[in-house]
Amino acid sequence: MLDGLGIEVVAQSEFGVTDADETGTTFAENSLIKAQHAVNATGLPAIADDSGIAVDALDGAPGVYSARYADGAGDEANNDKLLAALEGVENRGAAFHCVATFVDPADPEPIVAEGVWRGEILHARQGEGGFGYDPLFLVPECGCSSAELDPEEKNTRSHRGQALRELVALIEQRYAD
């Protein structure tokens, strides 16, 4: 997605950047924390994102704690905990959220973009692809879980794809000169 911008993308691990402490209470806060952490460690512009799933019947949980929902025990445990929390629940609406942030050390104003992907939580895992909550996330317009979508289709629809496309457009707009 960044090819047309003339930006060389290098993983922060190539610079030995450690993981940032995600102390924010929103996806936007954590995304900014992670991007600023990478900028502080490298002195270079950085893009970071934070994402997770918010379930309507759980008042938005697991939200920013999606990856740590089952106390860091991993995807399978997170999915098991979510299924248990929704046992007997009829309304299973949910949304994946992603906030992507670009921080340039030469510019005091970060660029922030957001994507939201609405769906429902299934009663059991479905599909082998993807990661995280993908096997439980029903994409109603496709009639399958996000774990059953091919990667190109998933990137077209997903919260992360939406956020990154918007971020690219905003970067192009800011640096058009």
Pairing of strands 93-103, 46-55: antiparallel
From the candidates 3, 19, 21, 50, give the one annotated as an active-site residue: 50
Residues 6+ apart with CB under 8 A from 97: 27, 51, 52, 53, 54, 63, 114, 115, 116, 159
Q: Within the chain, what is the greatest distance between any pair of CA atoms?
A: 56
Could you tell me the pLDDT band of residue 177, with boundaries at 50, 70 and 90? low
Looking at residue 59, its pLDDT comes to 98
Is residue 49 among the annotated active site residues?
no
Nearest partner of 58 among 99, 8, 93, 33, judged by Cα:
93
CA distance 107 to 71: 37
pLDDT at residue 19 greater than cutoff 90: yes
Per-residue pLDDT of 38-89, as tens digits, reads: 999 999 999 999 999 999 999 999 999 999 999 989 999 999 999 999 999 9
Classified as helix, coil or strand, 94 is strand
**Residue 7: predicted pLDDT:** 80
Strand pairing partners for 99? 50, 114
pLDDT, tens only, 121-162: 999 999 999 899 999 999 999 999 999 999 999 999 999 999
Give every CB contact of residue 41 below 8 A, 6+ residues apart in sequence.
Answer: 12, 15, 16, 17, 18
Predicted pLDDT at 3: 74
- Using CA atoms, how far apart are residues 86 and 108, in angstroms rounded to an integer? 43
Q: What is the mean pLDDT of residues 22-40?
A: 98
* Residues 124 and 151: beta-carbon distance below 8 Å: no
- Helix/strand number for the chain, H first, E second: 4, 5
Q: Quick one: average pLDDT of 11-34?
A: 96
In the chain, the domains with their CATH numbers are 25-174 (3.90.950.10)
pLDDT for 2: 75
Single-letter residue type at 33: I
The predicted model scores a pTM of 0.94
Rg (CA), the chain: 17
